[in-house]
Amino acid sequence: MTYDRLVCANCAAPVSEGRCPVCRASRERLQQHAGNIFAQLNPVTLMALLVALIAVGLLLHQIV
């Protein structure tokens, strides 16, 4: 989820605006997590990557 849709429980403003210290802290934390490559992928993509990895592993196991 992106922080532009979140509403702060402290000031009831969008977190993306950073009106209060709680908003600013949440915005910073979410921006740090966005740097992680797996945080940007949706669950369907992660599952597809997992299935592909398992398929490659099974294929290599049959070859060897």
Please check whether residue 37 is in contact with residue 49, taking contact to mean a CB–CB distance below 8 angstroms: no
The residue with tokens 């532009």 is 4
Q: Strand, helix or coil at 7?
A: strand
Q: Strand, helix or coil at 55?
A: helix
- 7 phi, psi to nearest 5 deg: -115, 130
> What tokens were used for 6?
């979140």
Of residues 45 and 64, more confidence is placed in 45
Please tell me the total count of domains within the chain.
1
8-58 pLDDT, tens digit each = 888 988 888 888 998 888 888 877 766 666 666 788 888 999 999 999 999
Q: Is the pLDDT of residue 2 over 60?
A: no
The residue with tokens 């398929």 is 55
The reported pLDDT for the residue numbered 48 is 94
